[in-house]
Structure 1
Amino acid sequence: MAHSHGHTPAAWTGVIIAFVGFCVASVFTVTAQPVGVIAGLAIIAAGAVIGGIMSAAGLGQKKNKGMTAEQARAHKRAHEEAHHSKAGAHS
């Protein structure tokens, strides 16, 4: 089973909203307008909340609840081997 490493609709949405909030807060920091900075921080917090809600609604990464310890070790080995083969291909 492959993991998405956070490449889910919930993760992308939360990060994009937080990035917009960061940009807003940054612009208002440079222009020395505290109300705008607070608004940007509120947008960042909204990104976290919206991402969490979307994840809870099933749009986030799926949990592996039924995996045994041996299955987890085998999965980890397979993941590391796949990562090593990709790194070797780039050499």
Structure 2
Amino acid sequence: MEDEHGHGHSIAAWSGVLILILASTLLSIGIYFGLAWANWVGIALVVIGIGAWVGLSSAGYGQSQGASEH
């Protein structure tokens, strides 16, 4: 089988996704149970997750530009 490139196999992608999953979990719990602190922490984690994704990608931990071409 051919090695597939361009499917999120990078530290930047995994870090961003994991932080955003944690953020969405906290936001869901905060909305369901009415916990304001969980909502604010979830919102902060969304910003941190996007920043981590972009920052790590800019630092060279993301997918290289030519990797998606076969």
| Normalised-by-shorter TM-score class | 0.7 to 0.9
Match for residue 35 of structure 2 among 23, 33, 36: 33
Percent same amino acid at aligned positions?
30
Instruction: Flag structure 1 segments of 5+ consecutive residues without an equivalent.
Output: 65-71, 76-91
TM-score under structure 1 length normalisation: 0.64
Gap runs ≥5 in structure 2: none
Deviation at 1:38, TM superposition (A): 2.2
User: Residues 35-89 of structure 1: CA distance to partner in whole angstroms, max 9, x if unpaired?
Assistant: 321220210121110011000010000012xxxxxxx6xx3xxxxxxxxxxxxxx
TM (norm. structure 2) is 0.80
Between the two structures, name the one with larger relative contact order (CA 8 Å, sep ≥ 6): 2
Q: Give the superposed CA RMSD.
A: 1.8
Query: Mapping of 1:54-65 within 5 angstroms?
Result: 54-64=56-66
Residue equivalent to 2:25: 23
Equivalences, count: 66
